[in-house]
Amino acid sequence: MPGRLVHMVALGIVSCIMCSCTLEHMHTRSITISGGRGVPCKTGAGGPDLWTAWRPRLQMNPPLLNLRGGSSDNAVGAGLNPKNVHKTRKMALKAAKASQNETALQRVREGEKALEMGDLVLALEIFEQEIKASSAAVAKPKHHPPPRKPVKAPEVNKDEPTKLHKMRLMLAHPSQNLQAKPIRTGMDLSRNFAQNSNETLQTFLRTFGEQYRTRFPPEPNGFLHIGHAKAMAFNFGQAALAREQGIGGETILRFDDTNPEAEEQVYIDAILEDVAWLGHKPIRVAYTSDYFAQMYDLALQLIDQAQAYTCRCSREEVGKQRAAVRSARQLGLALPEEAKSPFRDTPPEQSRATFEAMRRGEYRDGEVCLRMKGDLASDNPAMWDPILYRVKHHAHPRTGTAWCIYPSYDFSHCIADSIEGITHSCCTLEFASRQAPDGPYYWLLDALGLYKPVTWEYSRCSIVNNVLSKRKLQTLVTGGHVEGWDDPRLLTIAGLRRRGYTPS
């Protein structure tokens, strides 16, 4: 017991000496205590001579060049690990061969002989010396490029506000709108419905003037997000640039309120607040529901022209018909009968009577709809008889129960643009096929004899690791996963405002 206590005291004293050593007078020794592992100890000049005091308990080993995790279990190697020495030999041999120096190779052979004799310390010393010498011989001098001349910073006018970006006017002048949409390569010219006659264009310019008129048409089924901020920046921004150039420009804020199931007054109020907070000033606020009566009359006109028909197919049946058209086109076959609605050739008089009965509320939701009699041979899938009207017995935020049939986006979008005198209708790219020269946007305006605005698409705003889809945001809000539409974790405009972002 006393022997073990002395042992522990000795270790404590050695540790204290190690902590109090000065960096200027250090040298390393290996101490083996009673047959234990080699312990490096750093001593400084002027310290107590513990080596003499504890010689009966401490067995001194000679100084080593590099222990590399060695162990005193190998008496010949003085605490060295033979595996590490062999590894160093391989490195030295590789470095010597790279230097192509015969003397270096001869020195490595001498180290290998020392290794065979069991002198690990000498072998390790030779190998490390040759690694350093050979590496220095093959090392390439570092290339230091000439110092660069300092660049003088441009002078900044502190009185002028900093502009993060400068948008340019990218939309053509309204007086040039004879071909409202460029014809894509390979398109059948007989299906080009995007042409305005000169007479139609001149009548439009006399009625609405030659100024730019854009619109921002949000659907009031949720709060606006950062993608809507991008759309506003473009639509309001293009009109503002036209004003700056003296041409004149204005933007209409139009609520696309054609789906009463998902729309609420609280969303309308939130959208108005967000638009105002961002600093945009629409020339007026409009609603698609303002034109319900006109759209109903235009739908009757299409029916009378045999360009629309009432259809009793379910949503699943309509999907199968479109799939049959797509399959026949891919295989180069004639359209099978199942690709066409069985009601497609209904006489106009019968379709009109059914549509009027829809208006009076004589059909249940989803029981019957009005479809466009498009072109099933077209290579544009948007022309394969899209739905124009459907039955929805839901109270509308503005019109109440005055209507129980509501137009689809395909029908209402183009007509509202033409009625309001929009010169440039700008949307995201998912609407490109609908707004193509051979798409339903221009087909409907052509069939109804209405003015055709320019349509222009830009990319959607997408931010990684974030949710921007209104449908998905609605799920987060209604599911209680977030505090509300203005939760700071969401990229809604209200949420970003709560984070502390400014309108700019």
Catalytic residue numbers, as ranges: 219, 460, 470
Supply 259's token pair: 């789906």
Cα distances (Å, whole numbers) of residue 395 to 195, 258, 261: 39, 11, 8
- DSSP assignment of 74-104 equals -TTTTT--HHHHHHHHHHHHHHHHHHT-HHH
**Residue 40 · residue 71 · CB < 8 Å:** no
How far, in Å, CA of 421 to CA of 418, rounded?
5
Q: Is the dihedral of CA 425, 430, 435, 436 positive or negative?
A: positive
Number of H helices, E strands in the chain: 15, 12
Cα distances (Å, whole numbers) of residue 175 to 203, 270, 437: 11, 36, 19
List the one residue out of 276, 280, 279, 266 whose CA is nearest residue 484. 266
137-164 per-residue burial string, b: 16 or more CB within 10 A, e: under 16: eeeeeeeeeeeeeeeeeeeeeeeeeeee
How far, in Å, CA of 250 to CA of 96, rounded?
79
Coil, helix or strand at residue 456? strand
> Helices 102-116 and 120-138, interaxial angle, to 10°?
160
Residues written for the chain: 504
Place of tokens 């409202």: 180
440 Cβ neighbours under 8 A, 6+ residues apart: 372, 374, 382, 383, 386, 410, 414, 434
399 Cβ neighbours under 8 A, 6+ residues apart: 289, 292
